[in-house]
Amino acid sequence: MTDKTSGSEQILSGLNNYLLEIINDRKVVEFALKKVKADLFQFTGVENYINSFEKVLKSNRTGEPEKFLRRFAINSENKFLRIYKNAEPYLKNIHTVLTLSNSKTLLEIFKLWAQNNKRLHVIICESRPKFEGRIFAKQLLKQDIKVELITDAMMSCCIPKADAVILGADSISNNGNVINKTGSLAAAILCRYYKKPCYILASNDKLSKKTKFKQKKQAVEEIWKFRDKNLNITNYYFEEIPKELITKIISG
């Protein structure tokens, strides 16, 4: 339950499959939900999923929890196609795109996109400190999609040659701002400077009622194990993109 390299959609898919395996043991299910809520609270999709599933559990209707899990699995496959269809009008003139981190939503959409765009070229920031960008790059390469992996610091060099920046979202706040992996804000600001579109592709379950975002510091050893009394290391995984920097949020 402490996955630090997968996107929320991938985590949700794994959680749903795991719950299907243990659905007949109510105590194990409740323990798993409690653990996930404690470890993955920052993912709105996960939070919304658990809230909905807990309501079904509390109803005590025989067979309903398993039906919920199986419906979720089917709907998950369909929602990527819905997002792609909604995004298609905006993607038709895009061939080179920059993104970052690791996202199942973007993976599934890029797979669909590549079927209709053989020129698709994806530039991916390596996404320190956990290097999720490398994971995403490998997944795209398996789909025969052209990939260029860059350091996060090279973003400003590569956005000028990209047609657009496309990002996922870990949460879409009630005020229209988007929470995503660190580096997303820099990408959005660079898009504004270079007059490039910045699109967010995310499922509707990423919508949150919250309007305030609070940073949480992560383990400093992930950045550097060196220590000195005058050295301070800060490690954040997520940041907020103001809605003014986003060209369009495309959901489904």
| Each residue's pLDDT tens digit, 186-235 | 999 999 999 999 999 999 989 998 889 998 999 999 999 999 999 999 99
Could you tell me the pTM of the whole model?
A: 0.83
Helix axes 64-91, 8-22, angle to 10 degrees: 160
The CATH 3.40.50.10470 domain(s) of the chain lie at: 86-227+232-250
Q: What is the C-alpha separation between 174 and 195, in angstroms, rounded? A: 26
> Residue 77 class from Cβ within 10 Å (0-12 exposed, 13-18 middle, 19+ buried)?
exposed
| Each residue's pLDDT tens digit, 21-53 | 999 999 999 999 988 887 765 678 888 889 899
Count of C-beta atoms within a 10 Å radius of residue 28 = 14
Q: Which of the following CATH numbers is that of domain 86-227+232-250: 3.20.20.70, 3.90.550.10, 3.50.50.60, 3.40.50.10470?
A: 3.40.50.10470
Q: What is the C-alpha separation between 150 and 56, in angstroms, rounded? A: 45
